[in-house]
Amino acid sequence: MSEGIHIKNLNKTFKTSDSETVALEDFSLDIKKGELITIVGPSGCGKTTLLRVIAGLEEPTSGTVSSGDKVFTEPGPDRGMVFQDFALFPWRSVRKNVEFGLEVAGVPKEERHATAEKYIEIVGLEKFADARVHELSGGMKQRVGIARTLVTNPEMILMDEPFGALDAQTRNIMQAGLIKILNKTDKTIIFVTHSVDEAVYLSDRIVILTKRPARIKEIVEIPWPRPRDRASPEFTALRKRILEELEQENVMS
């Protein structure tokens, strides 16, 4: 069982032969099991770098990311990542895409088929299980990507602008679907987005970052249960306040 994620004094510097760029500086954050955290901040501030360090795809310059007594130094099955560009295999069906991680892990055919069916149903694609990727809409493709991540049963899901390429209506549908997935699976989710509306709609907490190098400027607790009314005065006021915080960082850039 996951004990949450603990980020302590994290620093990440990218160096070349003639320059260095500090992406993250003295970054510390505790994330509870089953929590949905969104990360917002100015463009280029280090949000994706933070996700990649948590995923084990980037090595921190200093500091640690851990869960319980395990320090993350490389990718592992306890963390699944959902990318913005879907990253699906076009020659495979929906079912075969979802089964891929289980296939690599050597799970027997009948077992992986049954497990894939479960998660295909969770994301609402049971009628399209045999469809090819080119037959799907953008929202459907992203649901396949989410199901492929869920099927290996990671404790934590890292989502890097997963709905950024979708139109507004499809994006809203996907947000509602993600809430259903969270309710059914109790996963810990770290979600990077540029949309403050999306962050307020989805999150338990919103972590606002400064301009690069990324530090935590503020952590906003969302006091309302899901689903949330985007048209309510309280929702609108909170969205406006967070946008103003981000605009201050952009002006200072």
Taking only the tens place, the pLDDT of each residue in 159-206 is 999 888 888 888 888 898 888 888 887 889 999 999 999 999 999 999
Helix (H, G, I), strand (E, B) or coil at 197: helix
pLDDT over 90 percentage in the chain: 66
Closest CA to 191 of 31, 59, 56: 31
Nearest-angstrom CA–CA distance, 7 and 240: 28
pLDDT of residue 85: 78
1-78+157-162+188-253 is classed CATH 3.40.50.10140: no
Inter-axis angle of helices 94-104 and 109-122, to 10 degrees?
A: 130
β strands within the chain, DSSP E? 5-15, 20-31, 36-40, 62-67, 70-71, 79-82, 156-160, 188-192, 205-209, 216-221
- Which residue has 């249960």 as its token pair? 225
Nearest-angstrom CA–CA distance, 53 and 27: 12
pLDDT of residue 1: 40
pLDDT of residue 111: 94
Both structure tokens of 76:
């592992």
pLDDT digits (tens, 9 = 90+) for 107-159: 999 999 999 998 898 888 999 999 998 899 888 998 899 899 989 889 999 99
Please state, in angstroms and as integers, the Cα–Cα distance from residue 106 to each residue in 58, 102, 109, 139, following that order.
27, 6, 9, 29
Nearest-angstrom CA–CA distance, 114 and 90: 22
The whole-model pTM stands at 0.89
Residue 219 has pLDDT above 90, yes or no: yes
Residue 82 has pLDDT above 80, yes or no: yes
Mean pLDDT over the full length of the chain: 91
